[in-house]
Amino acid sequence: MVPTRELLPTAEPLSLLRKDGSPVEDSPLAMPDDDVLLELHRRMVVGRRFDTQATALTKQGRLAVYPSSRGQEACEVGAVLALREQDWLFPTYRDCVALVTRGVDSAETLTLLQGGWHLGYDPYVHRVGPQCTPLATNTLHAVGFAHAARLKGEDTAALVLVGDGATSEGDTHEALNFAGVWKAPVVFLVQNNGYAISVPMSKQNAAPSLAHKGIGYGVPSVLVDGNDVAAVYAVVKEAVEAGGPTLIEALTYRIEAHTNADDATRYRTSDEVAAWLDRDPVDRIEAYLTARGLLTPERRAAVAAEAEEFAAGVRAALNTDHEHDPMSLFEHVYATPTRHLREQAALLAEELA
């Protein structure tokens, strides 16, 4: 467990595995059990294959846009697997790997980015809120949900995923303040990948770290190595079990461009990317498990085959065209449609007739 729940984060990010996969001997964190580590590895391999497949489908025109999370798998997989069944996840548009890790169908996960339904899955089935596209709005959703659950006497925590750019939004600060005052059981996980699209950290934050922003709201804060899946799992699990709010900043890196519409070479160098490739989260856990004899060649091959089969399923689902009823535009917005919407729906129905 994390040694203390102090307001101040540590000066250096907490970790369990170095970038070469060797263990950190004096880490205050508890190493997850072997079966958990193997599951973390398996889900990361499948998640990365899903991510590369979605990127390829975007280039083929099957998705309107896709924000890759390659390089951030440790954050998304480690955090989601640390949740209990009754907990809820509030993701952003970049967190598709988190969704499939939570068990959401891959095709339903990509419906938003395909240009179909805004929400392609039932939030109640897997306890996953809608993917947030406007920055930081999901922080308020998570805090309100968690506070309501506590008022109802439910043992439910909320995990909200945000990027570093979202910490500059007012919604994040309102959510942190509310969570601090009401001790709402919310884990704020900031995936600090270094850039808010093309804006570097140096141009949006003057604090020693993003985790330090919890201090002003009385929220305990943790700084963790976001490419160390064992450490991410450990700190999120501890935060969930502790109850109350926690702000976690996970230092990681977005290997691909912001989306397929972005040219990352205009604001970062290839040397910078190469340095982070050397800290790859999948390679790190593989090296550790292999050195301990837990990841055998047979298991590695089985996991790779599972990932390929998963990707084939994604291709099959996304290469199927679906007919959308134009009238569905008016559904699921209001329980009772407004007069203007009823008039617009009638006009569209008349034109379609």
Closest to 1 measured CA to CA, from 38, 27, 22: 27
Find all residues with CB under 8 Å of 224, minimum gap 6, and list them: 13, 14, 15, 231, 232, 235, 248, 249, 250, 251
Residue 3, pLDDT > 70, answer no
Do 301 and 253 reside in the same domain of the chain?
yes
336 and 317 co-located in one domain: no
This prediction has a pTM of 0.94
SS3 146: helix
Residue 274 contacts residue 281 (beta carbons within 8 Å): no
Neighbour-count burial of 144, counting CB atoms closer than 10 A to its CB (0-12 exposed, 13-18 middle, 19+ buried)? middle
pLDDT given for residue 6 in this prediction? 76
Q: What's the rounded mean pLDDT across residues 249-253?
A: 98
Q: Is 254 marked active-site?
A: yes
Tell me, yes or no, whether 137 and 125 share the same domain.
yes
Which of 70, 150, 254, 284 is catalytic? The answer is: 254
pLDDT of residue 37: 98
pLDDT at 1: 47
* Residue tagged active-site, from 258, 279, 284, 288: 258
Mean pLDDT for the stretch of residues 49-69: 96
**Domain CATH code at residue 264:** 3.40.50.970
Q: For 258-273, what is each residue's pLDDT tens digit?
A: 998 899 999 999 999 9
pLDDT of residue 333: 80
Domain residues for the domain of 341 are: 326-352
The pLDDT of residue 4: 54
295 plus 318 within the same structural domain: yes
338 shares its domain with 208: no
Q: Is 126 a catalytic residue?
A: no
- At residue 2, the pLDDT reads 45
The token pair that represents 341 in the structure block: 């919407």
> In this model, does residue 238 exceed pLDDT 80?
yes
For residue 17, name the pLDDT band (cuts at 50, 70, 90). very high
What's the domain count of the chain?
A: 2
Per-residue model confidence (pLDDT) at position 5: 66
Q: Is the pLDDT of residue 180 over 80?
A: yes
Q: Which of 5, 126, 173, 267 is catalytic?
A: 267
Cβ within 8 Å of residue 38, ≥6 positions away: 289, 294, 295, 299
pLDDT the model gives residue 46? 98
Q: How many CB atoms lie within 10 A of CB 339?
A: 7
Q: What is the DSSP string of 4-27?
A: ---SSPPSS-B-SB-TTS-B-TT-
How far apart are the C-alpha atoms of 247 and 176, rounded to whole Å? Answer: 8
Three-class secondary structure of residue 195 per DSSP: strand
pLDDT value for 322 = 78
Which has more confidence, 5 or 7? 7
Instruction: Tally the C-alpha atoms within 13 A of residue 272's C-alpha that lie toward its C-beta.
Output: 15
Percent of the chain with pLDDT over 90: 90
121 is an active site residue: no
